[in-house]
Amino acid sequence: MKRIVKATYLLFVGLFMASSMVAVVDAQQTDPLRDRQQILPDGGAEEDNPIFIKVGQAGFTFMKLPTNARNAALGDAGVGQIGSGAAGVFLNPATLAFFEGREAFATHVEWIAGTKAEVIGAAFNLQGRGTIGIGFQTYDAGTFNATSIDTDPAGNGFTNDGTFSTSNYAITAGYGLKITDRFAIGANFKLAHQDLGNGSVLMGGNLTTISNSKNAFAFDLGTYFNTGFRNTVLAMSVQNFSQELTYQRESFELPRNIRLGVLVDVLSIAGNTPVPHHLNLAFDITNPVDFDEQVLAGLEYTFQAAGSPLGFSGRGGYKTNHDTESFSFGGGLKYLTEAGKGLKIDYAYKKFDANFFSSVHVVTAAIDF
C-alpha cells in the first residue's frame, strides 16, 4: 500500500511540475501579445528601472472570482484547508475526499464596479468510494452601450445601438478520493461559456455582424497530504488548465493558476490540545497565467466546545503583490448536530484600492443534510 501511495504522489507531483513548465514556456513566448510588456513613461524614453507586467493574458476571468466567503476572508488562501465542504470543489478537489456527508451551498458576491457573481454547489460522499462535487458560477457584468460602425462618410463614425449585456457562466464536476487517511487526490472537469455580444466589422465595404461567443473546456488537479506532524498539511492544485481560444485574432487561455500551499495548526505546533480552540495558518504561493507570482496568507480562529453543535470563526488574510487588493477579514457561524446535519453561514470583506474600486462583500450559506 505504501508503494501505491508513493507512486500516486509522485505521479501528481510530476503533473504539477509539467504544468509549471508549461507556465514558464508561456512566459518565454515571443508573441508580443503574450509577453510581459515593458511600460515606458510619456514620450517613450526608457526608465532607469523599467517596470514589467504580465496582465491581460487570460479570458473568462470571472472564473477567478471568490466562490465562498471562508477562503475570501483568508485572502483567498487555503488550498490545503478542509472543512469548506462542497465549496472545496472550486479551490482544490482533493479536499472533497475528507467531506463525509451531503451539503449544498450558495454564495453571493458583490464585486467591484457594481458587478455581481452567484455561485451554487453541492457535494455527496459515496460511502467509502470518494466524494463527488458539482458547482455552477455565473457573473453579471451589467449593461453596456452598444455601437456599430457608421458607413456614412458624413456621419460620426459610429451609431448608437442601444444596450447589451454579456453572458458568463461555468459548470464544474469534481471528484475527490482518499488514498490513505492522510493523502487524497482530486480532479475537476469544467465547461465554461462567455458571450460578449455581437460585433460589426467592415469587410469589402460591407458591414458584417460577427459573434463573440465562446465555449471552453478545462480541468483542475489537486492533492492533499497531512504530514502527520502536528496536523501540518501540504497541498497543490492546478486550476483552469485549457487550450487557447480565439475570438477574432488574439488568442488567450482561461485563467490558469498553479497553487502550492501549507496549512499549519498553530496550537498543535505549540504543543497544546486544540479543543475547543483551533487556530490555523494558511500560506499559498500562486503562479497565475495573467499576473506575477503572489503569496496569500490567512489566519482562522475557531471556537467550538466539545459536544456543542455551535461554533464560530474569525478570519483575516492578506494578498501580496496585487495591483488593487490587499487585506480581507470575515467570520462564520455553524450549527451542526452529531449526525453532521445543520447550517453554516460565512461572511467576508475584501479591501480594494479606494482610488479605483469599492470594497467587496461575500456571503455564503450552506446546509448539511
For residue 216, the domain's CATH number is 2.40.160.60
**81 CB-side CA count, 13 A:** 28
User: 27, 16, 178: which is closest to 95 by C-alpha?
Assistant: 178
Give the pLDDT confidence score for residue 273 in this predicted structure. Answer: 67
The answer as to whether 192 is a domain residue is yes
DSSP assignment letter at 58:
B
The amino acid that residue 333 corresponds to is L
Residue 292 lies in a domain: yes
Report yes or no on 175 lying in a domain.
Answer: yes
Mean pLDDT, rounded, for 266-281: 83
Q: Is the pLDDT of residue 40 over 50?
A: no
C-alpha cell at 13: 507531483
The SS3 assignment for 157 reads coil
Residue among 340, 342, 341, 348 at smallest CA distance from 364: 348
Q: Assign residue 113 a region (left: φ > 0; alpha: ψ between -120 and 50; beta: otherwise).
A: left
Higher pLDDT pick, 303 / 22:
303
The predicted-structure confidence for 96-129, as pLDDT tens digits, reads as follows 999 999 999 999 999 998 999 999 999 999 998 9
Q: Looking at the domain assignment, is residue 7 inside a domain?
A: no
Region 262-287 average pLDDT: 88
| Per-residue pLDDT band at 132 (split at 50, 70, 90) | very high
| Rounded Cα distance, 135 and 120, in Å | 6
DSSP state of 67: -
* Residue 156 reports pLDDT greater than 90: no
Residue 151 confidence (pLDDT) above 80: no
- Residue 327 counted as domain residue: yes
Residue spans of alpha helices (H) in 252-359: 266-269
> Range of 362's domain?
60-368
Q: Give the lowest-confidence range in 32-41, 204-213, 248-257.
A: 32-41
Residue 60 identity: F
State how many domains the chain has.
1
Q: Is residue 48 part of a domain?
A: no
Nearest CA among 172, 267, 170 for reference residue 220: 172
Provide mean pLDDT across the span 168-179: 98
pLDDT, greater one: 101 or 354: 101
pLDDT at 271: 75
Q: What is the DSSP-derived secondary structure letter of residue 355? A: T
- Using the structure block, give the residue that is written with the C-alpha cell 488514498: 179
> Can you give the C-alpha Rg of the chain in angstroms?
23
Residue 37 lies in a domain: no
* Lowest-pLDDT choice from 84-98, 114-128, 264-278: 264-278
Output the pLDDT for position 37: 43
Q: Contact 53/34 with Cβ under 8 angstroms?
A: no
Instruction: Classify 215 as helix, strand or coil.
Output: strand
Does residue 264 surpass a pLDDT of 90? yes
- What pTM was estimated for this model as a whole? 0.84
Q: 276: cis peptide before it, omega within 30°?
A: yes
Return mean pLDDT, the chain.
85
First-to-final CA distance of the chain: 34
Residue 134 lies in a domain: yes
Lowest-pLDDT choice from 18-27, 82-91, 149-158: 18-27
